[in-house]
Structure 1
Amino acid sequence: MTGMRRLLVFIAILPLIGLGLADLGRRGAVALEGMLKMRVENGLGVLGFDWARVRADGLVIELAGDAPDVDAQTLAVEASRSLARPGRVIDRTTARLAPPERREPVEVEFHRDDNGLTLIGRLHDEAMRASLLGAIEAAEPGLVVHDLTGLDAARPSQDWAGEVAVALAAVHMMPRAFVRITPGSLLVEGVAADPQARDEMEAELIRLAGPNVTLVTAIRVPGRIIAPFSFIAEKTRDGALALVACAARTEAEGVGIDRIRREMAIEGGPLRCSVGLGGPHGDWEGAIRAGLKALAALPAGRLEVTYGSLTLDAAPPTRVETFEAALARLSNDIPPGFDLAGAVAAGREAERAAREKESYWMQIVRLGDRLALAGRVEDAAAGAALSAVAAARLGRERVASDLELAGVLPPPGWQEAALAAVDLLAEAPGSAELTARGLSVSARVPSAREARRLHDRVAAKLPGEVRLETRFVVDMPALVAALPLGPERCVAELDQVATARGILFDPGSARMDDRSREAISELAAILRRCPDTAVEIGGHTDNQGREELNERLSQNRAEAVLDALVAQGIALGRLEARGYGEHQPVASNDTPEGRARNRRIAFQLRE
């Protein structure tokens, strides 16, 4: 009976035990589910996959989200499957397709020179390269071609046979040419023998290009060298402005100067300004306009603009005050980079003569190669004799006389003093003034020894009653700068300026930086001090980039320096440009400093 009771009790509590075990199983499954989800989420977080979303359903893990690319999607799924064991992972992720690789468009440069034709750029594939080389061979059989092109450019949207034909025609016309072609467009640069040849070339290239190809041409004609590069005008006593000489750097600049001539009613001279090389840097047209404005403000005078210098000379009857006012305005008006000089070439100065009627007698001024006489003489014969002596020393056309007969007694010994002054000023530019107090002379001389010699020579010619006062200016810096140089010293000073000043170019280009103008001017000044020395201008680069391109770049930069020196008036026959590329380094190319030292312009004597 007892055993039966126990059985009934067990049967009664058996459902309760089943319910407890089921609840325990459910709790275990939930705990395992949460553990798997947390493990997968933590692992994806470590990998930085914040785009992935994790959902757990028992032992099943669902992975969703938009992966940035296929590689990220694959890695996230594989990592989740490793982390979710013993469960399994269902992949519901998506991935964005990567954009297609961007390719540069087709572009080829043709460089034609004495060494043949060099091709630089990028083509689509070998078939395009073979087609291009075949077209070159057919157009000019036997032409040496240096092919430096690369492949894998984007396929052009259209056939570019027409562009290639125009490019080949251009490099065939000009022994030195540069052409850049892309499908649909061309840039052509080169040099023609004369304007007519340039016009004919451009017309033919336009015809070949047709309406569907954009063509840009930059074919230049070498200008002739003009020396000295000057603009000279004079104003006579009747107020008329006359042109003596005129030069311009470009056709457009010549048109601008012609416009100024018409505005100011300037007569005479050449019909058109000569166009050529040799002019200074800076606003040449602006310098001429400013100088003519100052000249027009004078009763009479002369304007000379030569290279980078303006000289304004006043002629009788210009007063000192009038001239100084015009010179002051001109100093404010001239463009940067131009020097200014000027002096009263001769002046009667009525006001001054009235103030010093009893003492003032004569003024003699030497400016440049011209001598002016102003003041009084005892009689016409004395004036003619003085003018004749001056003309004998400097030439009749270089002597201007504004002498008048005296109304007062002359200073003692005036004739001997005037002749001595003319004799001195024939050798040194300056001025002399003769008054009742004596003779006062001011002049610029090359050395102290020359000053002593000239003083003694004038003093020896004066009668004892004439008091002599001399003031000589010795320009020592100019004296040193004008001393001639031997060949070796000439090259050494050229190298010193090139190193200290630096001749700078735009990166990867032969275009000279504007900051190099002063260096070029100093180099030209040195070359003028050794006129019989011929030099080689060497261009050098570092070892960055292709060897062939470095050689070409160094040659182009050396030629740019040569052209700039020729523009400064240095004879072309004295200069030779040569590019050495990277083959003559002066420092290690392993450091930025060393490479900077290797990128240079150097000079040496020509063999």
Structure 2
Amino acid sequence: MRLSSIFIIATTFLAAGIISLVTASFAVTMIEENSEYGVRQALDEKGLTWAEVHSNGLQVYLTGTAPSEANRFLAVSTAGSVVDAARVIDKMELAQSQRLTPPHFSLEILRNDSGISMMGLIPAGTDRDALISDLADIVGEDDVSDLLDVADYPVPDGWEDAVRYGIEALDRLPRSKISIDAERVRVIAMADSEDAQRKLEAALTRAAPAGLRLGLEISAPRPVITPFSLRFLIDEDGVRFDSCSADTEEARDRILQAALRAGLTGKASCTIGLGVPSPNWAKAAEMSIKALGKLGGGSVTFADADITLVAVEGTAQGTFDQVVGELENSLPEVFTLHAVLPKTPDANAEGPPEFVATMSPEGLVQMRGRISDELTRDAAISFAQAKFGSDVVHNSARIDETLPRDWPVRVLTGLEALTQLSNGAVTITPDNVTVTGNTGNQDAKAVISRLLSEKLGEAETFSINVTYQEKLDPVASLPTPEECISRIKEIQGQRKISFEPGSDTIDGASRQTVDQIAEVLKACGPIKLEIGGHTDSQGRETMNQQLSQARAQAVLNGLRARRVLTSSFTAKGYGEAEPIANNGTEDGREENRRIEFKLIRPEPINETETTLEAVERDSGSDAAASEDEGTPDDKN
């Protein structure tokens, strides 16, 4: 065979091979594209848009992240309905399961005369045995009922502090419900009296940890008021209540509104209590206050259902008769009115006899003037010594047998009224009993008014000029926590707290400073306080932190040794972490070596106003509608 023939045959076979290869490649590409397009279209129709489709030859690969195993199986099945299932290669992944959300941990503790009950859900990390032991220390081990559930999740931030505070509050409150979670503690409790209520609220607020939301709902039982009294005056000293009682909040608001219309300004309050003589108390009080306003002055006094209205001296007889007549005819049943129009005194008449008892700010009591007989004198001295102390009472009153028959009652009643004052005087005449002075008890006026109304009788007149002074109030006179910190800073500004070199021992020169700070903290009462220790940057950081902690603890121990109540204080060492000056200079390092007293306060609580201002705002709305830190310590 010739060479040319061989070449032609070989060329023919080569061309045929190339054509076959091209044809096969084109066919594979067509199959890949059609398979990929068909599967993707089917997946999109079923909402499986998260799945990706890739083909390689006859194989179809599914990739992507399936939300669940069910979605993954559905994607494979859908692809197998378009192409042969054997050609489908599953390369999909499953989305990781979301972590379970931790439950809401809460603890509710109930305390009553039967003991303590706990219920709720607490973290497994909470020391349950220690919690039960703390409660057993309050009421006894046999009186603690444990109904708690436990969940194995991390302890939330703030949980331990909230539980510790809740136990501290429970210890103070024999009848209470404490609801605790990591961010909030709600205290519902009953106090024995309004005074105890104020003291508990102040103490619990001061002791609350920083950042804790605190809800206090401490109520006091309504007092039994005997006699149920009210005394309203209009005179040269202004328009005011000496005493105000009401049986309901609605009655209180009605009485205060009537007083506002009669000219009352400023703050006023009305005690809500039990013992009202008639459901029409508020109506009778409104009418009487309105009548006094028409007279232009005087006083109106309620002692249960007996009303005494005393007009101001010089009131026209015609006006007096008209106003009193209208009031008598409109008062509700049960109430009786005794009206008095004082006569103008005779300028030439001799002054009336009197008995005067005075109490000085130091507590010394002196009695002078006249006493009707020896028995009354002995009774007055014995009563005064029993109330004020046998060493502080001095008597210079003389016996006068011509005094009125009710003089002994008036004298003893006056002395009893004096016990409500911090300092002041009681003056007794045949026609009047006058009480003047200062007090730290906001309810003193009301107590004195009820006392005089009950003991002297409805027809007697008396006057009360008693001033409440916050500095005499054992609760209100406490300096605020901010004032306490300010005083401590003043002391540290004069002399810093220093330590012996490289030690946590307070040096001799600084002990007087600690003495002064201790006296301030004793006067401040329980406050939440952090004593922070700070150093400069010299030395190792770990050693500085340990030294600052030891020095802060040494100051805390020093205050405790000086009989300061430190249960709400903490000591914390910051080391060199919080400089206040440049550590590159000696003066700067000296400033950075310091002890700081930092106040820790809970978040503020919104309270609903129930004072006269709220009544005034409501009254104004109705009227409108009708018209149309510390000094450094030494680390050297």
TM-score of the superposition, structure 2-length normalised?
0.37
Q: Which has the higher contact order (CA 8 A, sep 6+)?
A: 2
TM-score of the superposition, structure 1-length normalised?
0.38
